[in-house]
Amino acid sequence: MADAAHRDLEATADTHHGPQGSLPTLALGALGVVFGDIGTSPLYALKESFIGHHPLTVDAAHIYGVLSLVFWTMTLIVTVKYVFIILRADNHGEGGSLALLALIARKAGQRKWTPGIVLLGVLATALFYGDAIITPAISVLSAVEGLTVVEPGLGSMVLPIAILILVGLFLIQKHGTARVGALFGPIMVVYFIVLAALGIGAILRHPEILGIVNPMYALAFFLIDPQLAFLALGSVVLAVTGAEALYADMGHFGARAIRVAWLYAAFPCLLLNYMGQGALLLDDPANVQNPFFLMAPDWARLPLVLLATMATIIASQAVISGAFSVTQQAVQLGFLPRLKITHTSAEAAGQIYVPLVNWGLLVLVILLAFGFKTSNNLAAAYGIAVTGTMLITACMLGFLTFSVWRWNRLLAGLTTGGFLLIDGIYFASNATKIPDGGWFPLLVAAVAFTLLTTWSRGREIVRHYLQVGTMDIDLFISSTASIKRIPGTAVFLTATTDGVPPALLHNVKHNKILHERVIILTVITQGVPHVPEDKQIEVIPADSGFYRIRLHHGFMQEVDIPASLARVRNCGAPLLPADTSYFLSRQTLIPSKKPGMAIWREKLFAWMVRNAMSAMEFFKLPTNRVVELGSQVEI
């Protein structure tokens, strides 16, 4: 019956949290936020393709070959894969790796491959943290490096200026980004217009560069030098960094607005700029040192540096905000311990701030900038995180097409196989750069993956041991008939949906009293972003003043237990704050040799439990109405 209730909740998930506004307004907002990362790729993608870790000869054959690869990479990966296919994976308006994981798990049910898809979703999330560290560093550095085009003597100032910008960016996070966000769209519109204008100016000198849309140029590149062409893919893919943001930010702007912004603004402007850079290289191969800024006339280069810097700040802001959102989802879905999450806007539910993530990212971004020093060095580290996430998304696309959307098996196989092949080749190309910096995002992902899986597995083990020997609620009620009852309401929080919570057993054992009304409360996170208010509260009455209440919420919603209980109307008299006490069970975990996890992971889990935000703060319980009862649990 409980499963049926959960399915009903998910089927009626709130659809009123979607993006609000007209299509042009939403498309403008998407242009400012969603395409900030991919929009700043022209700053370094083409340059890295020619003078990166595997340099290419700057001649017509290689220029046409690389640009043809750039065009078809953006067409196949961004336009076809993400814009036309992945954006259809709508988890009640939300997107992203964890939302996709929740969607597949909910629609497909428990299958033999379910644990595998969960691990894939967690791994994609772990790689995202690596991306969130590298994006601000490489974007801001590449923009500030434009100063060396304006004045070569300013080279020594690039790193200090970039560090100052990055520190300032992270310092403002606690104040919220709602006001700054209002400027994102207009600034990025100007930026994309400038991208197109610069490109058109160069294309007019070499209109034949428009021919790069012919895939034969890409094929010819591979025929000329297969090994170098394969290695060049590791740099070409930098042109589509940020493609995951199209899906991750779907909840903010909607799939239609993102499609319109990409097809009619971002894609053509980016393509014109890349073509313009290619035309510039045809003019003079020496321009390969920084073709983006060298396209501009001398008088416009300093303003272009300032505009590009603002664009990179916007791109970095979008990734940082994304890291906050992913962390919130991970906490709600049970992959991370409770963390302090602050809402910075009364109007926008998605405007949140996570202090631990913010300061952790700041430290790692600064270390990264000091360690790699230039955008060229960082490019080697960047591609592996991007292509790794794309490859995982292609794998999850297979589960979507076969088990959720139930496409024709031939069509599903060809689609999935095609993208696995494309993304696999790009990933393999970037894997060659692991010694040159690609190890960094893999290290970050490994640490994040370990934390995410350890917390999830640890919670399962603790729940298992707590449920062993749990007393049936009806048996407990009958055995406490002679216990003295006192006025008021006692709320006992528990993670399980049946049995008697340890805190309730300890209260009876040591205090030998019961309140007139006893509520056993469980907070349940559904596999949907939002659960409507009329479906959030489930009351199951028992005898003798006992009630079991289940609070259902989505993985994008925060939980306020007192506010939710104030809306309960079918468990006796209304719950008055002054008459309600909350009882929490605090377990002290003792790592042991019992089956479960390796000892080091059990110690890591115990450390995470000790440092997690208290349930009292997380669930917004009144501090003067909370009683904690401790116990020891061997895991």
**pLDDT at site 180:** 57
Q: Locate all alpha helices (DSSP H) within 59-113, ordered by sequence.
A: 60-73, 97-108
Task: For residue 232, report the phi and psi dihedrals to the nearest 5 degrees.
Answer: -65, -25
**pLDDT at site 632:** 67
Of 553, 534, 526, the residue nearest 7 (C-alpha): 526
Of 370, 392, 380, 391, the residue nearest 440 (C-alpha): 380
Strand partners, 630: 586
**pLDDT at site 1:** 41
246 and 262 Cβ atoms separated by less than 8 Å: yes
Numbers of helices and strands, H then E, in the chain: 27, 8
User: CA 619, CA 166: separation in Å to the nearest integer?
Assistant: 33
Task: For residue 126, report the phi and psi dihedrals to the nearest 5 degrees.
Answer: -65, -40
Of 107, 78, 75, the residue nearest 92 (C-alpha): 107
Q: Locate all alpha helices (DSSP H) within 542-589, ordered by sequence.
A: 561-565
Give helix 158-171 / helix 114-144 axis angle, nearest 10°: 130
Q: Model pTM?
A: 0.84
**pLDDT at site 163:** 94
Name the residue type at position 151: E
CA angle 347, 94, 135 (to 5 degrees): 85
What contacts 426, CB < 8 A, 6 or more positions away? 73, 233, 234, 237, 383, 387, 390, 391
- Pair of tokens at residue 271: 């393509």
Question: Which helix (H) or strand (E) element contains residue 523?
Answer: strand 513-525
Give helix 409-431 / helix 226-236 axis angle, nearest 10°: 100
Of 202, 223, 200, 220, the residue nearest 212 (C-alpha): 220
CA angle 168, 170, 175 (to 5 degrees): 95
For the chain, 635 residues long, the average pLDDT of each consecutive 10-residue run is 45 51 81 86 92 89 95 95 89 79 75 78 89 90 90 88 93 71 80 96 94 95 92 92 82 86 94 96 92 93 93 87 85 88 64 88 93 86 87 89 89 94 94 89 93 91 75 85 88 85 85 90 86 88 88 86 88 86 82 79 89 87 84 68
Name the residue type at position 355: P
Name the residue type at position 105: A
User: CA 483, CA 488: separation in Å to the nearest integer?
Assistant: 15
Give helix 60-73 / helix 226-236 axis angle, nearest 10°: 50
260-277 as b/e: b if 16+ CB within 10 A: bbbeebbbebbbbbbbbb
46 and 294 Cβ atoms separated by less than 8 Å: no
In order of 316, 327, 601, the CA distances from 336 in angstroms are 24, 8, 14
13 and 529 Cβ atoms separated by less than 8 Å: yes
**pLDDT at site 368:** 92
Question: How far apart are the two ends of the chain, measured CA to CA in Å?
Answer: 31
User: CA 492, CA 435: separation in Å to the nearest integer?
Assistant: 53
Summarize the chain as % helix, strand, coil (round to 5).
65, 10, 25
User: CA 307, CA 180: separation in Å to the nearest integer?
Assistant: 15
**pLDDT at site 520:** 92
DSSP class of residue 80 equals: I
What contacts 472, CB < 8 A, 6 or more positions away? 499, 500
625 and 583 Cβ atoms separated by less than 8 Å: no
Domain boundaries, the chain: 20-375, 470-634
483 and 515 Cβ atoms separated by less than 8 Å: no
User: CA 216, CA 596: separation in Å to the nearest integer?
Assistant: 55
- R_g over Cα of the chain: 27
Task: For residue 44, report the phi and psi dihedrals to the nearest 5 degrees.
Answer: -140, -20
Is domain 20-375 in CATH 1.20.1740, yes or no? yes
